[in-house]
Amino acid sequence: MRFEHILEQMKNRMPERRYIHTRGVAETAIQLAGKYGADTEKAEIAGILHDSVKYAEKEWLKSIIISENMDAKLLEFHHELWHAPVGSYVAKKEFNIDDEDILNAIKFHTTGRAGMSDLEKIIYISDMIEPSRNFPGVEDLRKIANIDLEEGMLSCVQHSMAFLIKKRQPVFPDSFHCYNDLIQKRGKVKE
């Protein structure tokens, strides 16, 4: 990896298992970026930093969401979502990342959104399919993601939403908008 020095800084921020996941996300993102013509350096950086504050204190995450005027709806949902937008903030403030595509890839890696860039899709997908992930259906998601980026993204967001719905958990609105956007880009919705 070209950004091993940034990856090394993640070791103190997370348990070993999450560090292995982070490394896997970065490696998967590099591979998918190369396959789909996206910037591999941006993919690596976003992959490394996507969970940089996953283990930060809940109250601190909440304070950043409030102080930085982030989407207030976040506070109505499970705090697991908070690390993504706050991670984007930390990438900018602490790691001096000023590339909006990298920042958005970090910010939306848990929810997705309508109008995602290829890099945003790559990080979302990589977070779900990296090699240490092991859940029913992950092999199918890996296969689809390696055939078609759009279909891979649609399959991953469908899987994520179905998981939440099955557990009777609320789904953040950006995920619905992401799903609808991907479906509507396919053309007229059949009646």
pLDDT band for position 3 (50/70/90)?
A: confident
The more confident residue out of 187 and 164 is: 164
The closest of 130, 114, 89, 134 to 174, measured between CA atoms, is 114
- Quote the pLDDT of residue 188: 64
Q: CA triplet 180, 181, 187: central angle to 5 degrees?
A: 95
The answer to whether residue 189 scores a pLDDT higher than 80 is no
pLDDT, position 5? 86
- CATH of region 4-130+137-184: 1.10.3210.10
User: What average pLDDT does range 168-178 have in this prediction?
Assistant: 96
Is the pLDDT score of 174 beyond 90?
yes
Model pLDDT for residues 92-144, shown as the tens digit of each residue: 999 999 999 999 999 999 999 999 999 999 999 999 999 999 999 999 999 99
Structure confidence at residue 1 (pLDDT): 64
pLDDT the model gives residue 190 = 60
83 has a pLDDT exceeding 60: yes
Instruction: Look at the alpha carbons of 64, 55, 97, 112 in this order and tell me if their dihedral is positive or negative.
Output: negative
pLDDT tier at 4 (50, 70, 90 boundaries)? Answer: confident
Interval 20-64: pLDDT, tens? 999 999 999 999 999 999 999 999 999 999 999 999 999 999 999
Q: Phi first, then psi: what are they for 135, rounded to 5°?
A: -145, 160
Residue boundaries of the structural domains of the chain: 4-130+137-184
Q: What's the pTM?
A: 0.95
Residue 165 CB-half CA count within 13 A: 8
